[in-house]
Amino acid sequence: MQFHVITLFPEMFSALTESGVSRRALQNALYDLKTWNPREFTHDRHKTVDDRPYGGGPGMVMMYQPLKDTIDAIQSQSQDVGDKKSKVIYLSPQGRPLTQAKAKQLSKLDNITLLCGRYEGIDERLLETEVDEEISIGDFVVSGGELPAMMLMDAVIRLLPGALGHNQSAEQDSFSDGLLDCPHYTRPEEVAGMKVPTVLLEGNHAKIDAWRQIQKEQRTQERRPDLWQVVQAQEK
């Protein structure tokens, strides 16, 4: 998988490429990442990428031209190496929520471009003509699209075959079947008077699977009734 990231702060992505599962996946060539700074596609000596919004108001807006030229360069490179057109995703609080199902869908693609906004946003004309999809990581606002982009990438990378140490790890994550995950325990068997549930110590895998399923359903009902309603509706 090829990731292209359009960002004014490419150094931030070292957190993804130098740590954990995403670092190992990069070393094992499961994905590649290239960052693109729109300042390199400006035409003035100040490398201007933003300007005041029409109609007034606080903050600045990222300009159309540098971003358009950056996307054009990405698409040109993608086609030169024989790939299909890169899917352009803008990380935005106005987008549809990132879910496990969406991450799984994106993990099937070969080429993704992630557009990281800054300031008050991006000129709407670029969003209308160059962006295929807007995705949100939650109903809150952060300073830019870099952290959301890294979260999206991490969610997708761990779904790539070979990224995790155990093939079933991703399949058993929370939300994979619409439910929250069950509780987990490790040694020692007792901590501060709290014991590991007996069923997990008996070695009966059928009973363990049944217990875990019950725990997942109970947790989802208690903690995320909205998810439980969706699961119930799908079963009808």
Which are the catalytic amino acids?
Answer: 93, 120, 158, 173
DSSP code for 191: E
Residue with tokens 């439980």: 228
Strand partners for 88: 113
Matching residue, tokens 């399923």: 213
> Would you call 111 helix, strand, or coil by DSSP?
strand
- Residue 118 neighbours by CB under 8 Å, 6+ apart: 8, 50, 62, 143, 144, 145
Euclidean distance between CA atoms 113 and 204, whole angstroms: 46
- Residue 111 in contact with residue 81, Cβ under 8 Å? no
Structure tokens that stand for 226 in this block: 């909205």
